[in-house]
Amino acid sequence: MHRFEFRLEKVLMVREATERDLKEAFKTCRQATKAMENEIDGLDRQIERLMVAPYESIQDRVLADSHVICLKDERTSKLAALSILEQEEENALVKWHKARQDTETVKKLKENALVEYKQELARWEQKQLDEWTSTRRAAA
């Protein structure tokens, strides 16, 4: 009897590679999102420090206020970038889940094919035993 060969093995290999690539793409998007969130948190802390710091003169306060305005503008632009990164992350997650489902489908087909092969092998072995038994009886 021939050995088990899954006819869609190459498809499974391609799907698994695609799933790995999409998982890595999702991880990269997630890291970029986290990095942007950390940058925004840093800006928030910096703005908070400037807002509560004591100033010796009005000119120092005006300079600090203008710096706060610049930081808030930067924060606004980073929030816009963060929303784009979050959308990219969501898209990457959806693609990865779809690829994982596709891979699982082919794996399930392989499992079913293996079960079928084992059943066929068991029938073949039983047939061989039956033939051997009948030839032994005929010879005896």
Do the Cβ atoms of 103 and 15 come closer than 8 Å?
Answer: yes
Give the Cα separation of 5 and 110 in Å (integer).
9
Residue 41: count of CB within 10 angstroms of its CB: 10
Torsional sign, CA 107, 112, 113, 115:
positive
In the chain, what is the straight-line distance between the N-terminal and C-terminal CA atoms, in Å?
28
* Phi (first) and psi of residue 30, to 5 degrees: -65, -40
Q: Tell me the residue type at 84.
A: I
Residue 80: count of CB within 10 angstroms of its CB: 10
pLDDT digits (tens, 9 = 90+) for 86-117: 999 999 999 999 999 999 999 999 999 999 99
Per-residue pLDDT, 138: 75
* Domain residue spans of the chain: 9-101
Per-residue pLDDT, 18: 97
Residues ≥6 apart with Cβ < 8 Å to 50: 64, 67, 68, 71
- Say what the pTM is: 0.78
Please state, for a pLDDT cut of 70, what percent of the chain lies above it. Answer: 99
The confidence band for 136, taking pLDDT boundaries of 50, 70 and 90, is: confident
Instruction: Using the predicted structure, report yes or no on whether residue 119 has a pLDDT greater than 90.
Output: yes
pLDDT digits (tens, 9 = 90+) for 72-92: 999 999 999 999 999 999 999
Do the Cβ atoms of 67 and 55 come closer than 8 Å?
Answer: no
Residues in the chain, total: 140
Taking residues 9-26, report their average pLDDT.
Answer: 97
Instruction: Using the predicted structure, report yes or no on whether residue 62 has a pLDDT greater than 90.
Output: yes
Torsional class of 100: left (φ above 0), alpha (ψ -120 to 50), beta (otherwise) = alpha
Do the Cβ atoms of 46 and 72 come closer than 8 Å?
Answer: no
Per-residue pLDDT, 140: 64
